Amino acid sequence: MATNRSIQRKVEIRYLSSMKNGMAEFYTPQASHETMLVQIAAGAIDDLFVHHFQTDQLLVVRGSFVLVVLSDRQYQYIPLSEYRPAVVTIPPNVPHAAINLSDQPCVMVNAVLRHGAPYAKDYQPRRHPFPYDLDAARRAIASLEMPISA
């Protein structure tokens, strides 16, 4: 297993392409040590989490939300949606949170990579040091292309 020192502290976004076979589309699964199904409630505005010994690999499968990343005392707002499949990789020691301003829950898969034993404090929320910019979160999610209805 990699040590924390060898892991970059940069959040990466990789948009997925699919292979279509008949009516089904296939996406490459993410390698992981543990896979979790996560639901973010409608209207959720979470506190920050920091994982010391794990890398999160997030993929939205239903709905949408805004991933908030704290870096250099600034928030970055990353919109994620089922309509534009992407895996977002969050390495250890990166403070992050979820905002779901929609009236629908969001469901995602987290393909977790472990870099040591689970640490109880990794799952305890931390207060954000300054307020989120909810208008920026709204603009971020509105920037995603939505599917055209038939």
The amino acid occupying position 40 is I
Question: Is residue 137 domain-resident?
Answer: yes
| Residue 20 forms part of a structural domain | no
9 vs 75, more confident: 75
* CA–CA distance, 19 with 21 (Å, rounded to integer): 7
Q: Is 104 among the domain residues?
A: yes
Stretch 86-101: mean pLDDT, rounded? 96
pLDDT in tens, 32-91: 899 999 999 999 999 999 999 999 999 999 999 999 999 999 999 999 999 999 999 999
Residue 79: inside a domain: yes
Residue type, 61: V
In a domain, 13, yes or no: no
Residue 68 sits in a domain whose CATH number is 2.60.120.10
Q: Indicate the number of domains in the chain.
A: 1
Alpha helices in the chain (DSSP H): 134-142
* Each residue's pLDDT tens digit, 100-149: 999 999 999 999 999 988 878 777 888 889 999 999 999 999 998 665 55
42's tokens: 């409608």
Segments forming the whole domain that contains residue 77: 32-142
Give CA 68 to chain center in angstroms.
Answer: 8
String of DSSP letters for 111-141? EEEESSS--GGGGS-B--SS---HHHHHHHH
